[in-house]
Structure 1
Amino acid sequence: MILEEIGRPYDPAPLDFKNNAQYEPGYVAINPKSKVPALLRDDGTLLTEYPVIAMWLAKTNPQAGLVPVDLEGETRCAEFLDYVCGTVHPQGFTRQSRPNRFALRAEDEPAVVAQGRELAVKYMNVIDSGWRGDTWVLPGGYSIADSALFFIEHWAARRFNIPLPPRLATHFAAMLARPAVKRTLELEGLPT
């Protein structure tokens, strides 16, 4: 989505997580962490972890205006990225999609899923109640923080049937209207 926003050419390489393609030797040779996203830069070096990739893309493409230029704004953007990627995603949504990672026994998995759903709702309400911007996450306008929020909104609304709190619902609708988001969803084979 960020590459679409900045208009930078790229070659997507989607992975089939349902068939554990992230553990295949070809991908592990590129990214031993067996995670996505991963960005192979023009100089041949690899960047991993969404907050790092997002910040690097934003800072190396300042014309796109995807990260605040002031220290407080950049700090709040990094804080939001960390919360979404380090807390909301793994605790709220990975528990629901991969409960076996959190349960010692198969019979405990439904409780893990229920806990994930409860946490996802709680975390999204925390985001909603602490909303700093107007339509976008940050007061300065659209940023990489919005792209991070979108992926959990998308999972909540379209995958797990979790109602979005009011500000997140408004944000989700605004994101779906962005041309870069539409192109990204189409590329991923997801409904726009």
Structure 2
Amino acid sequence: MKLFYAPGTCSLGIHVLLEEAGLPFERARMSLKDGDQRKPEFQALNPKGKVPTLERDDGSVLTEWPAIAYWVAARAPAAKLWPEALEDQARALEAMDFIVGTLHGHAFSRLFNQAKYAPSEADHPKVIEQGRAMVAAGFDVLEKGWKGDEWLLPSGYSVADAALFYVTFWAVKRMRMDVPPRIAAHFERMMARPAVQRALAAEGLAG
């Protein structure tokens, strides 16, 4: 199978999960800046024009971060990336939905694409200010609602940790933002994982 990714984007989280799962895969590097996501050959695979995109061995294509994460975890049960108990599964979905849909989709998107929220460049600083406040509020929600020990869920390491990792990576490495203590400690533990180090090295990102 083949992972279509762009270095340092949300596809980093899926890259980490594939490394954790130990599944054989190819990497197809995309440059969003150069518009690779809009090229006909990629549009034929994923008309949504975004990463991560996973082309599976049978030629079928899977899109959307939570769906890919679930599928990877299900394909590699020995890696224990998906919780066993129903309650923990629901909590994993809850965490992923908040991180991917809200923290990423609404908060960080304001830091990466101001024109989407304010056509006038004069208003872009206000969008950035709003985005940073939303990011901080999102991390605060996760910090105060932390139920696990070392990992986000009480059941242990899961797909939810990979989701939290990629947004924390943005905050710490790209935005130079402070994050709450539990989030910061989680980030350090993630950075120490061999699968994370392999994904970062493959994407040419500093560890």
* TM-score range for the pair, normalised by the shorter chain length: over 0.9
**1:96 and 1:40 mapped to 2: Cα distance?**
29
| Aligned alpha-carbon RMSD (Å) | 0.8
- Equivalent position of 1:138 in the other structure: 153
Deviation at 1:94, TM superposition (A): 1.1
Matched, 1:159 2:169: no
- Following the alignment from structure 2 to structure 1, what is the Cα–Cα distance between the partners of residues 100 and 62? 16
Q: CA deviation at 1:20?
A: 2.3
Unaligned residue ranges in structure 2 (runs of 5+): 1-15
Which residue of the other structure, out of 68, 76, 85, is the alignment partner of 2:83?
68
Larger RCO, structures 1/2 (Cα 8 Å, 6+ apart): 2
Aligned match of 1:85: 100
Structure 1 residue 159, shift from structure 2 partner: 0.4
Find the aligned partners of 2:126 and 2:28 in 1 and give their Cα distance.
34
AA partner of residue 178 (structure 1): R
Q: More deviation in 105-114 or 174-183?
A: 105-114
TM-score w.r.t. length of structure 2: 0.91
- Stretch deviating more after TM superposition (144-153 or 93-102): 93-102
- For 2:54, what is the secondary structure of its paired residue? strand
1:7 maps onto 2:22 in alignment: yes
In structure 1, what is the Cα distance between the partners aligned to 2:151 and 2:23? Answer: 23
Structure 1 residues without counterparts, runs of 5 or longer:
none
Residue of structure 2 in register with 1:44 after alignment: 59
Three-state SS of the structure 1 residue aligned to 2:27 is: coil
SS at match of 1:96: helix
Letter in 2 for 1:96: L
Q: In structure 1, how many angstroms separate the alpha carbons of the residues matched to 2:67 and 2:182?
A: 26
2:121 counterpart of 1:110? no
Q: Which runs of 4+ in 1 moved over 2 A?
A: none
Deviations 1:75-96 (A, max 9, x none): 0001111111100002111110
Q: Which moved more, 1:101-110 or 1:167-176?
A: 101-110
The share of aligned pairs that are identical, in percent, is: 45
Supply the distance in 1 between the matched residues of 2:129 and 2:95 (Cα, whole angstroms): 25
Alignment: residue pair count: 192
